[in-house]
Amino acid sequence: MARTPAELVGAQPEPPFEITLDGRPVAALNGQSVAAALWAAGILAWRTTRVGGRPRGAFCGIGQCYDCLATINGEPNRRACLVPARPGDAITTQEGHGRAGLSV
């Protein structure tokens, strides 16, 4: 008799809401970080490195490594593992340092 952890504790989670990654809908749950919602949807990378364009996603999951940087609601360089997912959040794949449109 296999039961889920939610069933074991009698949890009644709220219904999922929608965020988007590059315009694609992604389901998220209340309390999830952006990175957790993306992982749950099978999305493992949402950034590319500045040199070489290699894919990156969450690595440490606690905000120390900065591999999970994403552009969230137009703001680049947000640590997706620390940002709570909110209904309607728009995440876009971040390329390189995330400031391609700015003169720095």
Q: Where are the domains of the chain?
A: 16-95
Q: How far apart are CA 38 and CA 70, in angstroms?
A: 11
The burial of 77, by beta-carbon neighbours within 10 Å (0-12 exposed, 13-18 middle, 19 or more buried), is given as middle
User: Do 56 and 104 form a contact (C-beta atoms < 8 A)?
Assistant: no
> 16-95 is classed in which CATH architecture?
Roll (3.10)
pLDDT, tens digit only, all 104 positions of the chain = 688 877 878 777 789 999 999 999 999 999 999 999 999 999 999 888 888 888 888 888 888 888 899 999 999 999 999 999 999 999 999 887 665 554 43
pLDDT for the residue 62: 87
User: Do 35 and 80 form a contact (C-beta atoms < 8 A)?
Assistant: yes
User: Which two tokens mark 17?
Assistant: 């809401």
pLDDT for the residue 103: 40
pLDDT for the residue 33: 96
Q: What global pTM score does this model have?
A: 0.80
